[in-house]
């Protein structure tokens, strides 16, 4: 055997070792993939169940929200009505308070007038009584 044949034989052996190493790695990868597949299948099945349950819950929640929408709208309308009613009551209250204050002012003015009239009447009565006494003295 000459040098070229020995070099070819070495290259062939190296190539065979390389192919064997690649085959070993591929077999190891294949086994790893089988193990992963074995572990992933239950997870995928659970994920499908979770997705189905989530879809069911979402549909249930959607139907309940649709039923609640009119209640929420009615509550909002009621709040608006109550607010409007409260505004009107406050306006009327302000008017009544103003009228009450005006009425008290009128009562106070009438009271002051009555007191002044009473004082004038008392003074007039005193003058009249003096006049009667002085006439009685003159006559008597």
Q: What is the pLDDT of residue 114?
A: 65
Q: Buried b / exposed e across 17-28, counting CB within 10 Å, b at 16+?
A: eeeeeeeeeeee
pTM over 0.75: no
pLDDT at 94 over 90: no
The share of the chain scoring above pLDDT 70, in percent, equals 92
Domain boundaries, the chain: 1-41, 92-139
Q: What secondary structure does DSSP assign to 92-130, as a single string? A: HHHHHHHHHHHHHHHHHHHHHHHHHHHHHHHHHHHHHHH
- Assign 3-state DSSP to the chain and report helix, strand, coil percentages, each to 5: 100, 0, 0
pLDDT at 102 over 70: yes
pLDDT at 14 over 90: yes
With a CB cutoff of 8 Å and minimum separation 6, the contacts of 1 are 9
pLDDT at 84 over 70: yes
DSSP assigned state of 47: H
pLDDT, tens digit, for every residue of 16-25? 999 999 999 9
Give me the mean pLDDT over the 110-126 stretch: 68
Q: What is the pLDDT of residue 119?
A: 63
Q: Mean pLDDT lowest for which of 50-54, 68-72, 98-102, 114-118?
A: 114-118
Give me the mean pLDDT over the 74-88 stretch: 86
Mean pLDDT of all residues in the chain?
85
């Amino acid at each position: 055997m000459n040098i070229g044949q020995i070099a070819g034989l070495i290259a062939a052996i190296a190539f065979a070792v390389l192919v064997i190493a690649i085959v070993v790695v591929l077999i190891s990868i294949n086994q790893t993939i089988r193990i992963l597949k074995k572990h992933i299948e239950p997870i995928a099945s659970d994920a499908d169940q979770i997705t189905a349950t989530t879809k069911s819950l979402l549909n249930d929640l959607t139907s309940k929200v649709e039923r609640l929408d009119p209640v929420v709208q009615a509550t909002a309308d009621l709040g608006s009505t109550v607010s409007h009613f409260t505004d009107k009551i406050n306006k009327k209250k302000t008017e009544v308070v103003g009228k009450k204050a005006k009425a008290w002012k009128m009562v106070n003015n009438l009271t002051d007038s009555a007191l002044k009239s009473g004082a004038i009447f008392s003074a007039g009565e005193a003058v009249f009584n003096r006049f009667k006494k002085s006439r009685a003295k003159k006559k008597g």
